[in-house]
Amino acid sequence: WQLGKIDQGVFAYWMVSHYFKKELTYIGFGGKGKQVRDLLHIDDLVELVKKQLVKINDYKGTVFNAGGSVQSSLSLLETTTLCREITGNVVNVSSELKNRPADIIWYITDNSVTEQEFLWKPQKMPKDILTDVFTWLHANEQVFKQLWKT
């Protein structure tokens, strides 16, 4: 239920912006869209939680990383390409060269301990995840039209 608002996840935001043909901006790091993030499908997270629930008391108080890791990561530029392919829409993407203080250029979750402990790895790849976001968005278009005032 990330609703594609700017503060609720870059991948949902990017897809919603393409779906409703709203302009985007590559911010910072030269304005080229080279920032990288990993993405995790909810189905993959649910599979991990199911594995953890089997022995929940054994893990009490233990923290495990869960993210898309290297295998499920994208730059904003790559995300733009996939969103265009999935939606069939091309939106204008401008560039803002100046970095913002809290922005980082690269974030990939280290799942190594989680993968080893639970014999788990994310299965959904970025194109699958973005396609599922598109499908969910399309099925709930009227709600999103109200949120995005389109």
Q: Are 122 and 44 in contact (CB under 8 A)?
A: yes
The per-residue pLDDT for 5 is 46
Distances (CA, A) of 54 to 40, 49, 51, 69: 22, 9, 6, 24
- Compute mean pLDDT per 10 residues along the chain, 150 residues long, and list them: 55 94 94 95 96 91 94 96 98 95 92 96 96 94 74
Cα pseudo-dihedral 40, 43, 44, 45, rounded to 10: 80
CA angle 94, 27, 70 (to 5 degrees): 115
The per-residue pLDDT for 143 is 82
